[in-house]
């Protein structure tokens, strides 16, 4: 009655929990490995070892099943099963790269089941038992099953109920079997001549991957949010009970040496061998059917998302069956059959599935940790996903470290290709939430710490304008910001009749130069340039990552501007570090080989900032062969050796290699700017501290500085904030 009920209900396209998820999953779980290799696992690993292998494999299966079930109940699940879940949560690059991996693994698993079928079939009928014989039988079976899938998915699924009944009857026959092969004692652990546990695990693991067969049918389910968790977890649970029970039974009933050598021993010891043969054939063929039905749907879903060629997204006119995708599955499965050795295929399939399962688990963990919109109806603890992730890759490492790294490289290349391909869907992916979570946590951590007297980490607000040398100003700002600093460039649009600001989306600037230099670009409307700079300096930034430096071009011709004077007063009051670049358009930065830092006794805070700038300059690829000089003007006839010693000590503390030059100027009293013009006329970049002066003296300072710039190359003026330490430049004995 039950079977008739489900067969009648499958006259429509959509399937329920039992027909659509539980049945294809349990038939794949109780498949070729159970009949053809479980005895071999027990024989080589011993009872305790076999149970440990079964439990570890099921830890991965259970955590992955729980993770994918939880994610499946959060979003609307379409065709494509696990690929669909991953692509809608972690984005197309991750979802696609894992989807391709899972697709190939599923297609190869078909070969695993059919080679297992060939071993049993050929042995039962007395056909040849060579690899070529297995290839022929496996190929014939693949052609027949592919034809069945092409005829009707519904027919293929209907057949599964009869196969399930055959498996149940075969298990009963095994448990009622004779004691002809009973051991003298039960081997609890592996013996000396046994295969290593790593190899045994790799061959066994495909037995627990069957639960993906049901998930792959997600597009054909009436209610995937309900059916996937229920059907998947019941299938895994039933499979675990059967495997543990059968392993204990086998160890008690069959000698370990027989288990190691005879793959058909379950058939020989059963009460009625034909029903076991029927169960083996049914299990292997139904598992293959599960792969033949599931894998094309994964490929079809990826093709509809433009991950794979669109030709594989086309389906039949009647029920949209993925015919083209099925034909490619046939090719991959046939390639696996040509390998011909079940154990080799099992190890390859294990790596594909372990890779996919690891990323499924981390997908769930990241969703539940970072995504505020993640509200699954099937809730589990967050740590379950993390446990599954580490379990997968720990097992992969133990099984085959080289294969694990090869899997990482493969997934990485697929991920890179999909990113370059720029495939996207109208779906938020989890990575945005992850970065938002990390940034939020990091900002709170930074804000909670006292950053006074800490190493300077530049956060620069840059006003580069639209001049011809803007690129050089951008380049130098990024050099000065170092590896971890932040640069935000503002483009100010003057609108004297400012009524409405730019929309938030229009304020973001994205161009190739900014992207290459990792500079953030913004543009805003202002009614006045100087007021605009003051307003940005006052309000821009957020807790934990406050801007600390203002950088712009040197203001030639503005020495008498009251607006510029007011802006400078406000910037000094806000206690920003100020950087002004006078760029020599003819000399540019020369060959990036020489930098001069000029110090005076009054430059105590500027001096420390200059040394930090020197450190960042030397780390930059363009300036890494630069010769840096510190030139100290000795106006007070102080001890030159003591001055050099103290400067060397200051430079050494900041780990900056420089040349030190002392200019004794007590007698000549040559003006400071004249000394700079003499010593730094051919220097690629000269850096000078801005002295403390009264704001009413600004015009005089700007005018004299303009005159200096006529005689030297590109120059950076520096004014340090109060956050810098006062270096001991008092060189009195």
Q: List all residues 6 or more positions away from 333 whose beta carbon is below 8 Å from its beta carbon.
A: 107, 108, 110, 111, 114, 142, 291, 292
Rounded Cα distance, 452 and 612, in Å: 16
Placement of tokens 């669909």 in the chain: 84
Residue 624 backbone dihedrals phi, psi, to 5 degrees: -70, -15
Burial (0-12, 13-18, 19+ Cβ within 10 Å), 682 = exposed
Q: What is the mean pLDDT of residues 620-624?
A: 84
Q: Decide: 610 and 689 in contact? Cβ < 8 Å.
A: yes
Q: How many CB atoms lie within 10 A of CB 435?
A: 11
Q: What percent of the chain has pLDDT over 90?
A: 19
**pLDDT tens sequence across 191-239:** 878 888 888 998 899 889 878 776 766 667 788 778 888 999 999 999 9
| Segment holding 662, helix H or strand E | strand 659-664
Q: What is the pLDDT of residue 8?
A: 35
Is 336 or 656 the better-scoring residue by pLDDT?
336
Q: What is the pLDDT of residue 218?
A: 66
Query: Lowest-pLDDT range, 172-181, 183-192, 590-599?
Result: 183-192
CA 537 → CA 483, 493, 570, 615, 700, distances in Å? 23, 16, 9, 26, 25
- Look at residues 134, 278, 157 and name the one whose alpha carbon lies nearest to residue 216: 157
**pLDDT tens sequence across 579-609:** 999 888 888 898 899 999 998 876 678 888 8
Q: What is the pLDDT of residue 11?
A: 41
Q: List all residues 6 or more positions away from 594 whose beta carbon is below 8 Å from its beta carbon.
A: 626, 627, 629, 682, 683, 684, 685
CA triplet 662, 664, 669: central angle to 5 degrees?
135
Rounded Cα distance, 1 and 20, in Å: 18
Burial (0-12, 13-18, 19+ Cβ within 10 Å), 293 = buried
Rounded Cα distance, 506 and 489, in Å: 15
Give yes or no for residue 76 having a pLDDT over 70: no
**Which strands form 459-463's sheet, in the order they lie side by side?**
508-509, 520-526, 486-494, 459-463, 549-553, 577-582, 715-719, 685-689, 594-599, 627-634, 659-664
Indicate the pLDDT class of residue 443, thresholds 50, 70 and 90: low
Q: What is the pLDDT of residue 58?
A: 94
Rounded Cα distance, 27 and 20, in Å: 12
CA triplet 407, 411, 416: central angle to 5 degrees?
145
CA 254 → CA 97, 223, 250, 259, 261, distances in Å? 44, 44, 6, 7, 12
Q: What is the pLDDT of residue 451?
A: 52
Query: What distance separates the 2 farthest-apart alpha carbons in the chain?
Result: 116
3 state SS for 571-630: HHHCCCEEEEEECCCCCCCCCCCEEEEEECCCCHHHHHHHHHHHHHHHHCHHHCCCEEEE
Query: Lowest-pLDDT range, 106-110, 138-142, 228-232, 400-404?
Result: 400-404
Domains present along the chain, CATH in parentheses: 14-431 (1.20.1740.10), 457-551 (3.40.50), 584-733 (3.40.50.620)
Q: List all residues 6 or more positions away from 10 whose beta carbon is below 8 Å from its beta carbon.
A: 19, 154, 157, 158
Query: To the nearest 10°, the Cα dihedral for 138, 205, 293, 118?
Result: 10
Query: Lowest-pLDDT range, 109-123, 182-196, 410-424, 694-708?
Result: 410-424
């Amino acid at each position: 009655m039950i079977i008739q009920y489900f067969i009648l209900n499958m006259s429509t396209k959509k399937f329920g929990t039992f027909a659509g998820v539980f049945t294809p999953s349990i038939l794949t779980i109780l498949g070729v490995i159970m009949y053809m290799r479980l005895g071999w696992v027990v024989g080589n690993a011993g009872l305790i070892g076999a149970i440990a292998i079964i439990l570890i494999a099921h830890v991965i299966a259970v955590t992955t099943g729980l993770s994918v079930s939880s994610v499946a109940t959060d979003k609307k699940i379409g065709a494509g099963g696990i690929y669909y879940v991953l692509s809608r949560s972690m984005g197309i690059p991750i979802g696609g790269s894992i989807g391709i991996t899972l697709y190939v693994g599923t297609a190869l698993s078909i070969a695993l089941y059919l080679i297992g079928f060939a071993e049993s079939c050929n042995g039962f009928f007395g056909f040849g038992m060579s690899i070529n014989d297995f290839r022929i039988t496996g190929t014939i079976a693949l052609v027949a099953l592919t034809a069945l899938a092409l005829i009707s998915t519904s027919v293929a699924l209907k057949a599964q109920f009869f196969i399930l009944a055959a498996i149940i009857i075969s298990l009963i026959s095994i448990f009622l079997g004779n004691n002809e092969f009973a051991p003298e004692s039960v081997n609890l652990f592996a013996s000396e001549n046994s295969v290593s546990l790593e190899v045994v695990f790799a061959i066994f693991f495909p037995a627990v991957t069957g639960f993906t067969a049901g998930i792959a049918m997600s597009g054909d389910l009436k209610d995937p949010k309900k059916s996937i968790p229920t059907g998947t977890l019941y299938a895994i649970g039933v499979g675990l009970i059967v495997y543990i029970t059968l392993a204990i039974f086998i160890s008690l009933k069959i000698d370990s040496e027989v288990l190691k050598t005879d793959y058909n021993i379950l058939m020989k010891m059963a009460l009625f061998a034909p029903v076991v043969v029927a169960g083996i054939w049914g299990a292997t063929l139904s598992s293959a059917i599960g792969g033949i039905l599931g894998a094309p749907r994964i490929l079809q879903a990826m093709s509809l998302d433009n991950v794979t060629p669109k030709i594989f997204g086309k389906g039949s006119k009647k029920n949209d069956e993925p015919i083209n995708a099925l034909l490619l599955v046939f090719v991959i499965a046939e390639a696996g059959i040509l390998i011909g050795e079940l154990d080799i295929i099992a190890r390859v399939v294990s790596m594909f599935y372990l890779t996919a399962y690891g990323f499924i688990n981390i997908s769930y963990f990241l969703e539940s940790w970072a995504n505020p919109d993640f509200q699954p109806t099937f809730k589990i603890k967050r740590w379950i996903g993390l446990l599954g992730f580490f379990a997968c890759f720990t097992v992969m490492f133990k099984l085959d470290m080289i294969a694990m790294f090869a899997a990482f490289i493969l997934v990485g290349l697929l991920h890179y290709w999909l990113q370059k391909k720029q495939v996207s869907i109208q779906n938020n992916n989890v990575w945005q939430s992850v970065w938002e979570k990390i940034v939020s946590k990091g900002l709170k951590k930074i804000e909670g710490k006292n950053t006074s007297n800490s190493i300077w980490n530049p956060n620069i607000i840059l006003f580069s304008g639209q001049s011809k040398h803007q690129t050089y100003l951008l380049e130098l700002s990024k050099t000065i910001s170092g590896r971890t600093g932040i640069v935000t460039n503002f483009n100010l649009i003057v609108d004297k009749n400012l009524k409405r600001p730019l929309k938030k989306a229009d304020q973001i600037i994205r161009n190739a130069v900014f992207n290459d230099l990792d500079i953030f670009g913004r543009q805003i409307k202002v009614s006045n340039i100087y007021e605009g700079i003051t307003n940005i300096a006052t309000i821009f930034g957020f807790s934990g990552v406050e801007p600390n430096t203002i950088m712009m071009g040197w203001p030639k011709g503005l020495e008498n501007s009251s607006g510029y004077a007011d802006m400078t007063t406000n910037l000094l009051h806000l206690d920003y570090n100020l950087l002004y670049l006078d760029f020599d358009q003819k000399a540019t930065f020369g060959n990036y080989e020489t930098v001069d830092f000029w110090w005076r006794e009054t430059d105590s805070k500027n001096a420390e900032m200059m040394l930090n700038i020197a450190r960042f300059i030397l780390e930059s690829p363009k300036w890494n062969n630069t010769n840096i000089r510190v030139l100290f003007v000795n106006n007070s006839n102080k001890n030159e050796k003591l001055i050099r010693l103290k400067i060397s000590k200051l430079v050494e503390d900041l780990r900056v290699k420089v040349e030190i030059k002392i200019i004794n100027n007590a007698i000549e009293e040559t003006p400071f700017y004249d000394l700079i013009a003499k010593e730094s006329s051919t220097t690629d970049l000269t850096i000078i501290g801005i002295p403390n002066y009264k704001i009413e003296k600004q015009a005089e300072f700007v005018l004299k500085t303009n005159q200096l710039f006529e005689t030297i190359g590109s120059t950076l003026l520096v004014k340090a904030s109060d956050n810098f330490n006062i270096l001991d430049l008092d060189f009195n004995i």
